[in-house]
């Protein structure tokens, strides 16, 4: 994983094998949490989680090998990567196809400069992709900011990048090397304690003080990002994903006020019968979509039937999960 915060373009090159015209139209709208998923960076690599990009800006660009519009996007994606790579731009191509053929098509023949990985076709369903190409911008807080059919315009990318916490590079050895490791490993409490201790010293050179202050400001920016996440979790409608987000904040920011704020909101969820019902239904939907392989037509048909069953089940009636299931099953 890179040591600088990055803008990740997940150029997800998925050939959709969803059932008939019922390709998932989804309910992943702006302002909702982005669904998590797993991918493999290569044929030999183990699975990685979308959570790896936590705190970063992500653009999922769904395209296909037979999709001319998706292929024509390669030069524009390359240009964006070149323009922003000094600020941490990464392009990750994701396909349900074996990585060899995809790399040959996009990198060798079309000159794509970004990386490739493999993911299940169910990712397209989770993001409500019905036509290719489709691109989803996910902000630093893990929420969908926009959806489009083409490469995002530079001003939109600039706006998203403005929320990313950036820290200066440090030598791999020397008195400050440990700070960078703490930042990269997201050891927030330990980093905070080290910064507070060092900034309190009176014998610091101005250059060293400025460097430490940059880290302190960047850490505060990450904390502010967690507060925005908590605020976005307050009013739903996807309380299941909100619960997952809050649990992560409570675990990853232990020792900070934001962790207490996340736990307080989780406690309020548990005391609200309707929210508890929304969470149970959301969890049921998440388990359902993870159970079937969308790359297998037989499995895909079973999933559509299962989604229809969840949407019609009285115990899920009126919930956000039931609405999602109904949309994904084609109404």
- Tell me yes or no: is domain 7-161 CATH 1.10.260.40: no
- What is the C-alpha to C-alpha distance for residues 45 and 180, in angstroms, rounded to an integer? 26
User: Where is pLDDT greater, at 266 or 18?
Assistant: 266
The answer to whether residues 27 and 108 touch, using CB atoms and an 8 Å cutoff, is no
pLDDT tier, 50 (very low <50, low <70, confident <90, very high otherwise): confident
Out of 5-14, 120-129, 142-151, which region has the weakest mean confidence (pLDDT)?
A: 5-14
Question: pLDDT value at position 113?
Answer: 86
* Chain-centroid distance, C-alpha 110: 27
Question: What residues form DSSP beta bridges with 135?
Answer: 61, 148
Q: Looking at 63-167, which runs of residues are DSSP E strands?
A: 89-95, 115-119, 134-138, 144-148
The structure tokens listed for 263 are: 């736990």
Q: Which residues have C-beta within 8 Å of that of residue 185, sequence separation ≥ 6?
A: none
Write down the pTM of the prediction.
0.74
Question: pLDDT value at position 31?
Answer: 67
Q: 256-304: per-residue pLDDT in tens?
A: 999 999 999 999 999 999 999 999 999 999 888 878 776 677 887 888 8
Percentage of residues in the chain having pLDDT higher than 70: 84
Q: 33-47: per-residue pLDDT in tens?
A: 788 888 877 656 678
Question: pLDDT value at position 15?
Answer: 43
pLDDT tier, 19 (very low <50, low <70, confident <90, very high otherwise): very low
**Cα separations (Å) of 11 from 118, 177, 246?**
11, 33, 28
Q: 173-218: per-residue pLDDT in tens?
A: 677 778 888 887 888 999 999 999 999 988 888 888 888 898 899 8
The mean pLDDT value for 224-247 works out to: 89
Domain residue spans of the chain: 7-161, 177-270, 273-328
- What is the C-alpha to C-alpha distance for residues 312 and 205, in angstroms, rounded to an integer? 67
Question: pLDDT value at position 29?
Answer: 62
Closest CA to 10 of 120, 135, 103: 135
Handedness of CA 298, 299, 304, 308 (dihedral sign): positive
């Amino acid at each position: 994983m890179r040591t600088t915060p990055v803008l990740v373009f997940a150029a997800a090159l998925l050939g959709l094998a969803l059932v008939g015209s019922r390709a998932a139209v989804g309910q992943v709208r702006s302002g909702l949490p982005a669904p998590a998923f797993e991918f493999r960076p290569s044929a030999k690599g183990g699975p990685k989680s979308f959570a790896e990009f936590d705190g970063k800006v992500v653009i999922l660009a769904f395209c296909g090998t037979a999709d001319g519009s998706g292929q024509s996007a390669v030069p524009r994606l390359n240009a964006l990567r070149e323009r922003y790579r000094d600020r941490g731009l990464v392009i990750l191509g994701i396909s349900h196809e074996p990585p060899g053929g995809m790399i040959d098509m996009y990198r060798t023949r079309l000159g794509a400069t970004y990386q490739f990985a493999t993911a299940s076709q169910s990712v397209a369903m989770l993001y409500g992709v019905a036509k290719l190409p489709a691109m989803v911008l996910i902000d630093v807080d893990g929420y969908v900011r926009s959806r489009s059919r083409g490469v995002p315009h530079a001003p939109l990318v600039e706006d998203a990048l403005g929320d990313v916490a950036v820290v200066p590079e440090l030598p791999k050895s020397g008195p400050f090397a440990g700070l960078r490791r703490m930042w990269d490993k997201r050891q927030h409490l330990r980093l905070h304690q080290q910064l507070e201790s060092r900034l309190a010293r009176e014998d610091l050179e101005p250059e060293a003080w400025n460097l430490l202050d940059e880290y302190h400001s960047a850490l505060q920016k990450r904390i502010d990002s967690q507060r925005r996440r908590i605020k976005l979790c307050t009013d739903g409608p996807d309380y299941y994903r909100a619960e997952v987000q809050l649990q992560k904040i409570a675990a990853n920011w232990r020792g900070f006020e934001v962790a207490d704020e996340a736990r307080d909101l989780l406690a309020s969820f548990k005391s609200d019968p309707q929210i508890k019902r929304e969470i149970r239904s959301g969890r049921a939907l998440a388990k359902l979509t993870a159970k079937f392989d969308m790359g297998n037509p037989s499995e895909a048909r079973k999933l559509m039937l299962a989604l229809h069953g969840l949407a019609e089940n009285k115990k899920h009636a009126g919930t956000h999960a039931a609405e999602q299931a109904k949309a994904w099953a084609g109404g």
